[in-house]
Amino acid sequence: MLLPVYPSTSRNRNPILCILKKHLPYKGKVLETASATGEHIIFFAEKFPYLQWHPSDKSDKYFWAVKKRGDSLHNVQEPICVDLTSISRVELKPEFNAVLNINMIHISPWEACRGLFKLSSTVVIKNGLIFLYGPFKEKNKKLASTNIDFDTQLQSQNPNWGIRLLDDVVTVAEEFGFILLEKYQMPSNNLSIVFQKST
């Protein structure tokens, strides 16, 4: 069976890698939420061989692809189901240096964004990080025309989806004990956002 591929991954993985290299430790553990087909996490696991990478997703639909992609890597763990829209009891230990979330919060209900920070507050160690990547709205900044069209398209598919206002995300982050550490402009009118656990 052919491995599923998202074309955007090959375009954005190297720019994201540059950001991760600035912040990730040499050794430790990273949890990826919304891993989907595993293309990002396997690519990063190859680049950071001394980090343990833990894939997760709401659905196990593509877990077979994650496993097949990571067959030859010692530092990719078994994927697990994590539904960020209904975080109640967390099975994961508080041992992660970082949580990685790529291109999710705009194609999921707002509850998933809150769930991401709620989960991270329990599993990320003190001074640990959350990495977000995707399009964001920013106050006093004009949204790129491509992102306006994308936002309209998303909301036509599901009124609970859409490009989020960065200030709203920062407010949720602070509620769960994370502060905005860095913001990076990325290709194709995206941002990389880095939060650090402060409590």
Q: Check residue 90 and give its pLDDT.
A: 72
- Encode the chain (199 residues) as per-residue pLDDT tens digits: 789 898 889 899 999 999 999 999 999 999 999 999 999 999 999 999 999 999 999 999 999 999 999 999 999 999 999 999 998 767 889 999 999 999 999 999 999 999 999 999 999 999 999 999 999 999 999 999 999 999 999 999 999 999 999 999 999 999 999 999 999 999 999 999 999 999 7
Condensed to tens digits (0 to 9), the pLDDT of residues 165-190 reads 999 999 999 999 999 999 999 999 99
The neighbouring-strand residues paired with 184 are 192
CATH of 7-197, one of 3.40.50.2300, 3.30.70.1350, 3.20.20.140, 3.40.50.150: 3.40.50.150
Cα distance between residue 70 and residue 46, in whole Å: 9
Extents of the domains making up the chain = 7-197
Note whether 101 and 169 are within 8 A (CB).
Answer: no
Per-residue pLDDT of 16-40, as tens digits, reads 999 999 999 999 999 999 999 999 9
- SS3 per residue for the chain: CCCCCCHHHHHHHHHHHHHHHHHCCCCEEEEEECCCCCHHHHHHHHHCCCEEEEEEECCCCCHHHHHHHCCCCCCECCCEECCHHHCCCCCCCCCEEEEEEECCHHHCCHHHHHHHHHHHHHHEEEEEEEEEEECEECCCCCCCHHHHHHHHHHHHHCCCCCCEEHHHHHHHHHHCCEEEEEEEEEHHHEEEEEEEECC
Structure tokens at 108: 């999921």
| 0.85 exceeded by pTM | yes
